[in-house]
Structures are given as structure tokens and as C-alpha cells.
Amino acid sequence: MTTLGEVVREAAARHGDKPLYVTEAGGVLTYEALDRLSDSVASGMLERGIAADDVVSLLLPSGPAYAVAYAAAAKIGAITAGVNERLSPAERERCVAVARPALVISAAHMRTDFAGADVVEIESDAAVDVDDVLGELRGSRPLPDAVDEAGPVAIVFTSGTTGQPKGAVFGNRQLDAVSYADGRMQWGGGGRGIANTSFAHVGFMTKFPQGLRAGGTTYLMRRWNAPDAIAMVERHRVTTLGGIPTQLELMLRDESFDSADLSSVKMVVLGGGPSTAALVRETRRRLGVPVLVRYTSTEAGVGTGTDVDSPPEDAQETVGRARPGVDVTVRTRTIPTFLPGRSDRCVWPPRP
């Protein structure tokens, strides 16, 4: 088993000053800087009394500060609970209440005070000089030689579609499983992509370790829109275009799509919603690249998907096959029909 902190250190040794994240303001967080800054912030957390198994809630926009804080907490065995910037204040407060953090790191516009928690407010705008991020949390205390490999690492909140948001807990073992499913835990091979979903989402929180192993570069968008996304793909020569189906549909229908040079794109990966056969076919026709479809849930972190060499109809008509280590069963759920006047008895199977 590999801990997230160990992956951060190994990625720094392998990838060095290669850009990991690039902000719209031009700030560059390298693999080396992620390791160095997260060491300093982890020390600062210890100086504030944060210990292993304490929860650190992040109310931060997706960006360098979020990644550094997540890595820092992992290095001391603390648990990161990210809160989506898009949630309403009341929803953010409920997530923090569920997490019961010892430390809240918050951008000014997302601040949520919570009884019993140390609250640190930071600048929310991405600095051009990323060495400035989380300066309020820097410290110099020595870090522990090791953390509990079996301990929890992250709390990821469900959407709350059928009730209040619930926290799904992931440990290093689960992060390893997601890493194996996504990239067999291999080093290298990463390309260039755009981050257009929240870092608090299960996608980032569970795929962070394998993303570090891959060694790619991700360009950050504060507010997604189709014209800007197309321009970023062209400007940064993006190799993997990922997102939810609605985002791809908007890009395909934007007037700048056909005139842009998108020849750098080698594959499209869709998830987070149903992909229609028509969308998959149109994407293949207009970009000339494979389209991969993913299906998962926040509670699992991994599910099913298609591959580059899958038959074309797989991505058009299905959500693919089970990822490594995943078992899939098909079940039906039928509600019994109760007999009139006899609430203690039911007809099974139900009447037509």
C-alpha cells in the first residue's frame, strides 16, 4: 500500500520542476513545489495542534492552494474534507457540520465558522507566484516519519440528490484501487488536460495520486464556458479532453469549434452524466479520436468504463465494463402490492 504523502514525494523526485497545475493568472505549481510547500504547510498544521485522524475542511476554489493543503494533511495522517465552491452557504455549512473538522481553511467568500474548529482565511485568488499560497499556514516542525497506511485520507461529499449530503470516506487502500483502475499505478505517460470540475469532487479527490504518477500538466479554469475551453485546448495543445456530456455538447455547438486547431486532442473522456449515442458519434466524427465513457459513484470512486480499444458501440450504447477489482450485478427492485385491509400481508410477486 502506498500513502498519498509518499506519492507526492516520489512524484517530486521523478517529475521535478515540470508544471503540475497552471492557473489562468499564469501561476505554475510544479511537482517539486507541491512537495516542498505541502511539507511546510503540514508542519504548520502540526504547530496548530492538528494530529493524525483530525479532519481538515477545505473551503477553497480548485487550484494550487487546495492541492497543497490536501497533500499537507495527508503527510501528517489528517483527513481532508473538501467542500464544493458551487454549493450555497447553507449547503457548505451542512457539509462542515458533517465533517466536524479541527481545522477549516477557507477562502474569504466561502468562510464558514464552526464551533470547535480553528478557522484560517486565505486569499482566494490564485497568485501568479504560487509560492505565496497558504503562507498563513507555514511552519517548521519536523514531520512524522510515517503515517498509518490503513487510516482514512479523504471525505468526499455526495451530491445530496436524495437527501442531505453524506460523506464517503476513502483511505489509502481505496486510493490505490482507483489508481490501479485508472492507470495500473504506473509512472509517466501523462499528457495535458483542463480541470473543469471542482477539486472537492470525487474525481479529483480519488484520482489525485494517479494523476501525480502520470506526470501530466493540468490547466485550471475558474469558470467554465465553451468558447474559453476551446481556446484553452488550442492554446495549450491539450491531449485529453474530459468533462461531462453537457460541456462537450456546448463545445461542439460553439461557433469557434470548427475553426479552432484541436489536432492535439488524442482522446475524449466523458462521465458525470449520460452520454447519448448521437453525442459519441458526432464527437468521433468531428475530432477523429476515441471517446471513452466512465460511470462511477461518489461512494465507490470507481465503477465501469470503456477503453481506447473497445468496440465503437460500447461507448455509444453502454457505460463499459467493470474496472479492475469491480464486480457488477444486475438487480431488479419491485415494490410489493399490499392486500386491501391487510397491511401485514403482501402479494409476492406483485399482481400485474
Residue 222: per-residue pLDDT: 85
| Predicted structure pTM score | 0.91
What value does the mean pLDDT of the chain take?
90
- Give me the CATH number covering residue 121: 3.40.50.12780
Domain-embedded: residue 327 = no
CA–CA separation, 238 vs 317, rounded Å? 27
Residue 124: per-residue pLDDT: 57
Domain residues for the domain of 259 are 224-322
Q: Kindly give, in sequence order, each residue whose CB lies less than 8 Å from that of residue 163, ignoring residues fewer than 6 positions away.
A: none
pLDDT by residue (tens digit) across 195-244? 978 999 999 999 999 999 999 999 999 889 999 999 999 999 999 999 99
* End-of-domain residue from the set 150, 183, 216: 183
Domain-embedded: residue 75 = yes
Q: Are residues 10 and 115 in the same domain?
A: yes
Residue 301: per-residue pLDDT: 86
CA–CA separation, 121 vs 326, rounded Å? 40
pLDDT by residue (tens digit) across 137-159? 999 999 999 999 999 999 999 87
Q: Are residues 236 and 154 in the same domain?
A: no
Alpha-carbon torsion angle 333, 337, 343, 348, nearest 10: -80
Residue 337: per-residue pLDDT: 53
Strand partners, 107: 122
Q: Are residues 158 and 13 in the same domain?
A: yes
pLDDT, mean of residues 46-63? 96
Residue 309, pLDDT > 80, answer yes
pLDDT, mean of residues 4-30? 96
Domain-embedded: residue 197 = no
Q: Are residues 263 and 165 in the same domain?
A: no
Which is higher by pLDDT, 128 or 265?
265
Q: Are residues 253 and 110 in the same domain?
A: no
Share of the chain above pLDDT 90, in %: 72
